[in-house]
Structure 1
Amino acid sequence: MMPSVRHADLEGRSVLITGGGSGIGAALTEGFLRQGARVAFIDIAREASEALADRLEQETGSRALFLEADLRDIDALRAAAATAADRHGSVTVLVNNAAFDQRHEIEDVTVEYWEENQAINLRPHFFAAQAVVPGMKDAGGGSIINFTSTSFMINHPDMPSYTAAKAGIIGLTKGLAGKLGPDNIRVNAIAPGWVMTQRQRDLWVTPERLAAHVQAQCLREEMQPDDLVGPCLFLASDASRMLTAQTLIVDAGHL
């Protein structure tokens, strides 16, 4: 369920979301579009992304701008960010959402695998920010929201390269917040718990595992992608204008 709250200051804002074509990212794309923002999203999956843009245009009358790019290619990322700014004006809200939570064993990780994993899960967060910061400065400020994960906080055993990247995102968030604060650019992170995206259901959810996880939450419901929309809108909006360098844990109280 999309949040009912309306952030009037988000209407007309230029928003760029990475990995915005599926899962949590698709919910974020929809959430910002329903706030009246001008939304561009980067994704590598053309069919799913175009289907999302078509559906949202039919439902809202507004179309999100799909930008096809592989975030491992920094030049392509920069070009996509430039296109978003050309079409919608300087990006003043950046949501670094894209990630790939592939499981891996310690003994199987090669140097090449490690570099590839970081190139998806950490490196684009910095270079996307680098690409939009000049426009944010010219616009008088902005908000950067980096999606991390509670996986490293709960000592998840099955993806050490991924959890290293997700911990790194918090360090990056704090460093960028300190640097960009004088330019009125806020930088925060969101750490989701176990969110029931289709990918999670297809690959890792079993009834027993899910029931045990929900039982360990304070709020005894499955978390859905839409549950991340409200917190992200809050961090993007003027409602959080003095909030920066923080990590907002959204996990139904599991921690």
Structure 2
Amino acid sequence: MGLALLEGKNLLEGKKIIVTGGAGGIGSATVDEYVRQGAAVTSIDIEDEKGRAFAAEANAQGPGTCMYVHCDIAVKEEVEAAFAQAKADMGGLDVLVHCAAKMQGMNAALNYTKDDYNFIFDNDMWGTILVDQVACKLMQEYGQGIIVNYSSETALSGAPNDGLYSAAKAGVATWTRVIATEWGHAYNIRCNSVMPTIKTPMYQAYVSHMDPEAYEKFMESRRAKHPIKGDMGDADVDIAPVMVFLACDMSQYITGQIFAINGGNTMVRG
């Protein structure tokens, strides 16, 4: 695992990075690789036991460092406090990677309620706006910064029975392009979004409940959709190296872009 082609080079040495949703899945894989690449990382989540455990594992491997801070990304006071603590502990803030999100069970478009809407948009849309705003204010002190927001391929594909999540994640992609323009001109902050198709704990739980026949049909559909690997990707191998690229100087002239890391399952067209 890791960036084999650049073995021995710590691409993020000296970088101060906040990763939201660091208690599992893509977030913890990103934290792990950032520490491996020499960064000082603050992992933020509400799953405290898992978050602390992943932070401890990352610290044990080094050469970078990781600390864990509890934070609900939809609560302004918690975000401001957590980011201020992270900045003080790390001595600054160079990069925000916003992985944290919430999902609901599948539901038909006709059946959504205002409560459903509030749950998804308060967390996934407003939560993104909030953490980006707080990060931007801190980054202004340094004259530059990097923000990477997580959208979803469902924002492009219009996934049936997942309408609110898909709509919120489409909003995240558009919001990211807006701030890439506004904050790039004003504060030299680069902003990009990621649309992944990656095996996560939620995915593993989903397939674990399938009987063998249903699982084989599901995998057959995945093989047809993914020109590369014939399946959903792995967070450590397929996402983490891209996250290093977006957080380091190799991507210094890239902003306002969508990175669809999905094995070709959904192809972004200009």
| TM-score (norm: length of structure 2) | 0.88
Structure 1 CA distance for aligned equivalents of residues 15 and 49 of structure 2: 26
After TM superposition, which residue ranges in structure 1, 4 or more long, deviate above 3 angstroms? Answer: 5-9, 204-207
Aligned to 1:242: 253
In the alignment, does 2:55 pair up with 1:44?
no
Q: Which runs of 5+ in 1 are unaligned?
A: none
Aligned to 1:111: 114
Structure 1 CA distance for aligned equivalents of residues 35 and 92 of structure 2: 17
| Contact 2:35-2:59 at 8 Å conserved across structures | no
Structure 2 CA distance for aligned equivalents of residues 53 and 164 of structure 1: 32
Structure 1 CA distance for aligned equivalents of residues 37 and 30 of structure 2: 11
Q: CA deviation at 1:9?
A: 5.3
Q: What pairs up with 1:26-105 in 2 under 5 angstroms? A: 26-60=28-62, 62-105=64-107
Structure 2 CA distance for aligned equivalents of residues 2 and 9 of structure 1: 12
2:130 pairs, out of 127, 131, 140, with: 127
Q: What pairs up with 1:177-188 in 2 under 5 angstroms? A: 177-182=180-185, 183-188=187-192
> In angstroms, what is the RMSD of aligned CA positions?
1.7
Q: CA deviation at 1:249?
A: 0.7
Aligned residue identity for 2:30? L
| Contact 1:190-1:232 at 8 Å conserved across structures | no
In the alignment, does 2:228 pair up with 1:224?
no
| Contact 1:90-1:132 at 8 Å conserved across structures | no
In the alignment, does 2:152 pair up with 1:142?
no
| Contact 2:12-2:248 at 8 Å conserved across structures | yes
Structure 2 CA distance for aligned equivalents of residues 198 and 93 of structure 1: 25
| Contact 2:11-2:37 at 8 Å conserved across structures | no
Structure 1 CA distance for aligned equivalents of residues 12 and 20 of structure 2: 18
Q: Which runs of 5+ in 2 are unaligned?
A: 209-214
Structure 2 CA distance for aligned equivalents of residues 207 and 59 of structure 1: 37
| TM-score (norm: length of structure 1) | 0.93
Structure 1 residue matching 2:29: 3-state secondary structure: helix
| Contact 1:148-1:189 at 8 Å conserved across structures | yes
Are residues 9 and 139 of structure 1, via their aligned partners in 2, closer, same or farther at CA, if it must alter by over 3 Å? farther
Q: CA deviation at 1:116?
A: 1.3
Identity over the aligned pairs, expressed in percent? 27
